[in-house]
């Protein structure tokens, strides 16, 4: 006999962005996709990506802004799960905490928070770091854990702590600047991950909430110096990785000291602490740099 269950509604913040988009793709690609309704949040429902999402029968798109989380929840109606991600800004901490508060108030059962690694599973919980947006994520994590623990519905959570995204490597000036700053790290390896794999782990957290209940995971797919990555880049694209001039990259780190500059300094001083093999054991399709580049080489050739 066919078992009929009510689909679970998952609210996805940043649905038109890299991570949120990957979360939705991974849920929809799973055999249990029919068990989920996705409410995708965007500030502009008429945008191309929002319209594409809205075309899927399991997805409804709502307009909302993290500056007003109650409005988002009121429009979404009852939600079972939440994928929460914020943009780096002076209000990141405030908006991230407000999402946790609203989730508890609106009776959500499972909250997936996309944070960032701060030195692996041992160090991250008690290491805000001197990087402003890392510290904001640390504060949001603590707030979420406290609110979930005391919530009347006993809301559970999964904290995802990705390292640097492969997607920072673009062909525009941002990507070239990133490549140069990576090169300026010298022999220090940088841990990286694809946003596709963040989406995979987020989707698993919703598909198997008991397995990922109150867990915190550092997500990493590869660890490379820029010269090591450049060898792979040449093999895959036939070209050398384009980099901004050294003085430009150094000037950006100086001018944006509170964000980019401090972050690259932290990569040198401390650095991420993820375990590639552990991630691969959980996700057999976890992308290393070569796999990510092969999938995206059209953007680089
Ligand atoms: N880049 C890295 O290497 C890295 C590594 C670890 C962690 N992170 C963290 O990842 C986060 C960013 O995630 P992402 O790269 O997936 O972002 P993204 O691709 O830039 O997408 C962010 C999405 O958020 C939505 N958005 C922006 N402002 C909003 C607001 N005020 N209210 C509601 N929605 C808003 C936008 O959607 P609409 O335009 O449709 O509204 C956008 O599509 C940051 O917290 C960053 O620190 C990044």
Quickly tell me which residue has 């399991």 as its tokens.
58
CA 175 to ligand 1 centroid distance, Å: 17
Distance CA 94, CA 136 (A): 9
**How confident is the model at residue 4, as a pLDDT?**
61
**How confident is the model at residue 3, as a pLDDT?**
52
Q: What is the dihedral of CA 151, 83, 287, 115, to 10 degrees?
A: -60
**How confident is the model at residue 301, as a pLDDT?**
86
Contacts of 130 (CB under 8 A, 6+ apart): 262, 266
Nearest to 83 by CA among 39, 45, 47, 46: 39
**How confident is the model at residue 232, as a pLDDT?**
98
- Residues within a 6 A CB radius of ligand 1: 14, 16-19, 41-44, 47, 65-67, 85-88, 116, 133, 162, 164-165, 168
8-163+194-219+273-286 CATH, one of 3.40.50.720, 3.30.300.30, 3.40.50.300, 2.60.40.1260: 3.40.50.720
**How confident is the model at residue 5, as a pLDDT?**
77
Instruction: Identify the residue whose C-alpha is closest to ligand 1 atom 20.
Output: 17
Distance CA 224, CA 70 (A): 42
CA 21 to ligand 1 centroid distance, Å: 10
In this structure, what DSSP letter does residue 239 have? S
Distance CA 11, CA 13 (A): 7
Distance CA 176, CA 185 (A): 15
Positions of the chain with pLDDT lower than 50, given as ranges: 1
CA 14 to ligand 1 centroid distance, Å: 6
210, with CB counted inside 10 A (0-12, 13-18, 19+), is exposed
Q: Which atom of ligand 1 is nearest to the CA of 16?
A: 43
What is the overall mean pLDDT for the chain? 97
Check: CB of residue 110 under 8 Å from CB of residue 206: yes
Distance CA 147, CA 158 (A): 13
CA 141 to ligand 1 centroid distance, Å: 17
Domain ranges of the chain: 8-163+194-219+273-286
């Amino acid at each position: 006999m066919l078992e009929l269950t009510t689909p679970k509604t998952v609210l996805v913040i940043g649905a038109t962005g890299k991570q949120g988009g990957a979360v939705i793709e991974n849920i929809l690609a799973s055999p249990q996709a029919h068990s989920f309704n996705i409410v995708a949040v965007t500030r502009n429902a008429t945008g191309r990506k929002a319209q594409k999402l809205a075309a899927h029968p399991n997805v409804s798109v709502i307009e909302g802004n993290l500056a007003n989380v109650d409005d988002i929840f009121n429009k979404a109606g009852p939600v079972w799960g939440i994928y929460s991600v914020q943009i780096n800004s002076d209000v990141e901490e405030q908006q991230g905490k407000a999402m946790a508060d609203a989730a508890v108030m609106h009776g959500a059962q499972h909250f997936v928070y996309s944070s960032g690694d701060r030195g692996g599973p041992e160090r991250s919980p008690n290491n805000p770091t001197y990087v402003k947006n890392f510290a904001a994520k640390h504060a949001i994590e603590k707030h979420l854990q406290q609110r979930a623990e005391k919530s009347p519905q006993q809301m559970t959570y999964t904290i995802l702590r990705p390292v640097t995204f492969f997607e920072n490597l673009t062909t525009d000036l941002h990507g070239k600047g990133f490549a140069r700053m990576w090169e300026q790290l010298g022999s220090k390896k940088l841990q990286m991950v694809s946003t596709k794999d963040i989406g995979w782990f987020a989707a698993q957290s919703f598909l198997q909430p008991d397995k990922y209940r109150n867990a915190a995971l550092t997500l990493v797919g590869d660890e490379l110096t820029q010269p090591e990555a450049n060898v792979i880049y040449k093999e895959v694209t036939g070209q050398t990785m384009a980099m901004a001039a050294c003085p430009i990259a150094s000037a950006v780190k100086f001018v944006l000291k509170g964000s980019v500059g401090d972050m690259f300094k932290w990569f040198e001083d401390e650095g991420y602490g993820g375990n590639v093999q552990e991630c691969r054991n959980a996700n057999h399709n976890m992308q290393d740099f070569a796999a990510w580049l092969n999938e995206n080489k059209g953007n680089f050739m």
